[in-house]
Homo-oligomer: A and B are copies of this chain.
Amino acid sequence: MIPGEIRVASAKFRDDLLNDTLPFWLDRSIDREYGGYFTAFDRDGRRLETDKAVWFQGRFAWMLATIAETVEPRNYWLERAKHGIDFLQRYCVDRDGRYFFLVTRDGQPLRKRRYVFSECFAAMAYAAYGKSAGSEDHCQMAIELFRDLRSHLGPNSFLEPKVNPGVRPMKSLASPMILIGVAQEIRKATGLVECTEVIEQCIDEIRTDFVKGDLACVLENVGKQGEVIETFDGRLINPGHSIELAWFLMEEARQRDLPELTALGIQILDWSLKLGWDKQYGGLYYFRDCHGFPCAEYWHDMKFWWPHAEAIIATLLAWRLTGEERYWSWHHKIYSWSYQHFADPEFGEWFGYLHRDGTLSSTIKGNQWKGPFHLPRMQFYCWQLLEEVIHAQPV
């Protein structure tokens, strides 16, 4: 690629973020009456329900507070981030300190789940807001929640497992992975020293127990000592999730100049693109089996928006860190496929769910799992990374 191409790409990410993705949500997501954000919308922005997904109170607040660090007018973004943060604090925490998963429009609790992802996204939001707004209180809340999360997600976690641990002890990649993501945010906002320690523990656990060199993949679920379990769950690979892990690791490597960690991220990216890319129709499969057996989940071969957003980041970062042209090619290939298939030029934002062959399965733009996170995060991250390239010495 030539410098001009990089400038065009950067401007496109910026433009898509600020003039397409964010306006789609900002125009209709903010509930001025009860606080918080709506997320359930059809393609044209028609609201499909008013229940509030707690993940997105944190995720969108995090995104807006992060943008406020970089994009003027700062107060515009901060005010909108605070809108979600206040709703989180006021309505989304149960008496035991655990967060809900779903609340009504006016903040009454509907569902609480075993997982602590709501808490993770809340911690990220508090951290980013604390930094952007210079609020010591919010930084402190983020740190407290992070310490609480360590006990839920760390090696001696007391999170209630789905499968009887007395009979089949298992652990999931999601736990150390999200903890890396949260720790990176807390460290960025507060400089908390223990974050790096937590990140290193998580990376060690992933490298030792989930990364399988002989199978050339990262498994989603393994035994307590990393044993491969010969069941549907035990053989499960989620290429989009592995690719997200790959760039979490490369980002850590970039921040701390750790070439071995870059190599691990690159390795995981290579495996996941090989396993995950659909050679017949293009796009990334949702699930694969580590032996090539069929998966048990119905939607295993569907193309979801978020693995593509993660792959656009990971390939760009791999190109940035290695300088290898093939990652720029992959980046371009995944970007093009995604914009051809997920983007909705008529009403903005991306569709979320395609059939294997790339045809549209659902016109939905948001529900409890799809909202303003993976897409705007990708656009923001890639924009910032390309700006860094533009302003750095020639690669």
Contact = CB atoms under 8 A, between A and B. Distances in A.
Interface of A: 40, 42, 46, 48-49, 51, 102, 104, 108-111, 162-164, 167-168, 230-232, 293-296, 298-302, 304, 353, 355-357, 359, 361-364, 367-368
Given A109-B164, A110-B167, A362-B300, A356 B353 contact: no
Nearest to A43: B294
A361 to B, nearest CB: 6
A168 B293 CA distance: 41
Contact of A362 (B42, B111, B295, B361): B295
Nearest to A162: B111
A300 B110 contact: no
Residues of A contacting B: mostly: loop
B168 A361 contact: no
Contacts of A300: 361-362
Nearest to A233: B49
For the complex of A and B, 10 pairs with smallest distance between CB atoms: A298-B299, A296-B367, A49-B231, A108-B167, A294-B364, A294-B362, A294-B363, A110-B163, A299-B299, A110-B164
Contacts of A353: 298
B361 A356 contact: yes
A105 to B, nearest CB: 11
Contacts of A304: 298
A364 B302 contact: no
Given A104-B167, A110-B163, A42 B294 contact: yes
A110 B362 contact: no
14 contacts: A42-B293, A46-B293, A48-B296, A49-B231, A102-B163, A108-B167, A111-B163, A111-B164, A294-B364, A295-B362, A298-B304, A298-B361, A355-B356, A357-B359
A331 to B, nearest CB: 26
A362 B298 contact: yes
Contacts of A108: 164, 167
A367 B232 contact: yes
Given A48-B296, A111-B163, 17 more contacts: A40-B296, A42-B294, A48-B294, A104-B167, A108-B167, A109-B167, A110-B168, A111-B164, A294-B363, A294-B364, A296-B364, A296-B367, A298-B299, A298-B302, A299-B302, A300-B361, A301-B361
A357 B359 CA distance: 10
A326 to B, nearest CB: 31
